Structure 1
Amino acid sequence: MEFILFERGCCPFLRFELEFEPGGPLWLRIRGPEGAKEFIAAEARAAEQ
């Protein structure tokens, strides 16, 4: 949840969906307008460095 709250502050154009399956996995979906996929990929690459 802290990640989602932080990201909402800097990237209000992104939509976050957190889904808990009973007895199963947890899913975090991040959606946004055109160009969001590239933006998220670039942010992930920067975080790895």
Structure 2
Amino acid sequence: MTENTNPQVPENAGQPGKIQDHFELFQTDTYQDLFAYKRQFEGAMILKS
């Protein structure tokens, strides 16, 4: 299992199976792309203001 590098996800919510599913989700390319897009969007919003 990979380290928890996303602070929004608790280390252990008392449901290891579900947390493991989350970790697998984090490892998908689509999810990583979504995060990159979100960061770009937030950066653009900061520049606009």
TM-score w.r.t. the length of structure 2 is 0.34
- Whichever structure has more strand as a proportion of its residues is 1
TM-score w.r.t. the length of structure 1 is 0.34
- Whichever structure has more helix as a proportion of its residues is 2
